[in-house]
Amino acid sequence: MIIGIGTDLANIDRIAGTLERFGDRFRNRVFTETEQRKAERRRDVAGTYAKRWAAKEACSKALGTGLRMGIAWKDMSVRNLHTGQPVMEVTGWAKARLDELTPEGHEAIIHVTLTDDHPWAQAMVLIEARPKE
């Protein structure tokens, strides 16, 4: 069953400007070390950050809270499998909220998809509850 869905659209140029203006202060406040390593080795650094920004926004919406109620930016993190597929990991308050939403006897699976077409980056997050086997 679907227990949450969220989407977000981010402007890559806006993220590039924020990176230029605030640099590490912005990076360290919003993105995990893993996300920063991934972005900094990409040709499109700002686009990579923008997709992850959008994914965090989308995840917070799928959790039914938006970025309020105690969720921190770093409570949501995007990493990639060896195949390149993005996956969302949650910790802290976001994990607590996910556990609260997940019906007893089920496990939560967070699906995330990212795309960009300059100047836009988009993410969609769908949270599924599957019965435990």
State the pTM of this model.
0.94
Q: How far apart are CA 132 and CA 9, in angstroms?
A: 33
Q: Give the full edge-to-edge strand order of the sheet including 106-117.
A: 2-11, 120-131, 106-117
The pairing of strands 106-117 and 76-80 is unpaired
From the list 113, 107, 109, 108, the residue with the least C-alpha distance to 125 is: 113
pLDDT at position 69 is: 66
- Reported as a single tens digit per residue, the pLDDT across 55-67 is 999 999 999 987 7
Q: Which residues are bridge partners to 20 per DSSP? A: none
* Residues 6+ away with beta carbon under 8 Å from 15: 46, 49, 50, 53, 121
Tell me the Ramachandran region of residue 11: left when phi exceeds 0, alpha when psi lies from -120 to 50, beta otherwise.
beta
Q: How far apart are CA 87 and CA 59, in angstroms?
A: 11
Domain 2-131 classified CATH 3.90.470.20?
yes
Q: Taking 90 as the threshold, does the pLDDT of residue 133 lie above it?
A: no
- Reported as a single tens digit per residue, the pLDDT across 48-99 is 999 999 999 999 999 998 776 668 899 999 999 999 999 999 999 999 999 9
Q: Tokens standing for 34?
A: 């893993």
